Structure 1
Amino acid sequence: MEKKSEKSKAPETVQEVDSRIAAVRDLIFGENIQQYNTEFADVYDRSKALQNQTQKNLGDSVTDLENKLADLESLMEHKFQDLNDDLDKRLADLDDEKADRRKLGKALEKIAQMLQE
């Protein structure tokens, strides 16, 4: 039973020693600790403000990039459509030229037949 009473006294003793150490620390370093606490609070506030500004800048950059990508996609689709239209036109022109050659060939055959007669 003696051990139980010693154990219960030990935390009280530790608390008393801690409070004495805290009192001595405050007497010796109290003014400096307050100054450090103030400086740390300022640094923390600056850090938080920079973090918020960085998040905002990152969000703005992402939005800007998404807009530019959408514009680029639209431009590429437009260019692709223009190229398809141009290709279709050239294929149609090529078909017309081939048709003219066929007509020319038939005309030459008729001339050849007329010459043989």
Structure 2
Amino acid sequence: MFVKKNQTTNSNMTKNTEKEKLAQPDHSLESAQRLEAIKNLIFGENIQQIDEDFSSIKQLIEQRKEALEDYIEATRKELLQTIDNLSTDLNIRITDLEQNLSDQVANLNHKKVDRATLGQLLVNLGEKIMKD
């Protein structure tokens, strides 16, 4: 007997919950209708104009956003190209400087050899002068 009473109570609770669930969509629909009615009272005939204004502003913002994204992408490509050009130019200059340094070192080596040869020639000349 006790079990049957609980089952009946559970059955009634389930039915009440189902009724509440069914009533909620109507309540939601009523709320939307009330909100629409309040909106019409507040804004009246201007609501259509306001909606159009918001739509045009939204569209303008979207266009500007796309334009800015395109500009950012173009700027990014330009910067990458400039960086690549600078890198190439820098590598060329470094290569030129290395070559110039190498040439200068070779020049100094030749000058040292020439000095040694010149020194030897001067010594030989001095010896010849002393002999005569």
User: TM-score scaled by structure 1?
Assistant: 0.78
Matching residue within 50, 64, 70 for 1:50:
64
Distance 1:77 1:56 in 2: 32
Structure 1 unaligned spans of 5+: none
Deviates more, 1:76-85 or 1:8-17: 8-17
Structure 1 position 38 matched with structure 2 position 52: yes
Structure 2 unaligned spans of 5+: 1-11
Mapping for residues 1-117 of structure 1, pairs under 5 Å? 1=12, 4=16, 7=20, 10-11=23-24, 14-15=27-28, 17-18=30-31, 20-22=33-35, 24-25=37-38, 27-28=40-41, 29-114=43-128, 115=130
Larger relative contact order (Cα-Cα within 8 Å, sequence gap ≥ 6) = 2
Q: From the CA coordinates, give the structure whose radius of gyration is larger.
A: 2
Distance 2:32 2:95 in 1: 81
Post-superposition offset of 1:76: 1.0
Q: What fraction of aligned residue pairs are identical, expressed as a percent?
A: 20
Deviations 1:5-49 (A, max 9, x none): 763564266246425514533642352322221111111101110
User: TM-score scaled by structure 2?
Assistant: 0.71
Distance 2:92 2:25 in 1: 81
Distance 1:74 1:12 in 2: 69
Post-superposition offset of 1:110: 2.8
Aligned residues between the structures: 117
Judged with a 3 Å threshold, the aligned counterparts in structure 2 of structure 1 residues 107 and 14 are, in CA distance, closer, same or farther, namely same
Judged with a 3 Å threshold, the aligned counterparts in structure 2 of structure 1 residues 26 and 80 are, in CA distance, closer, same or farther, namely closer
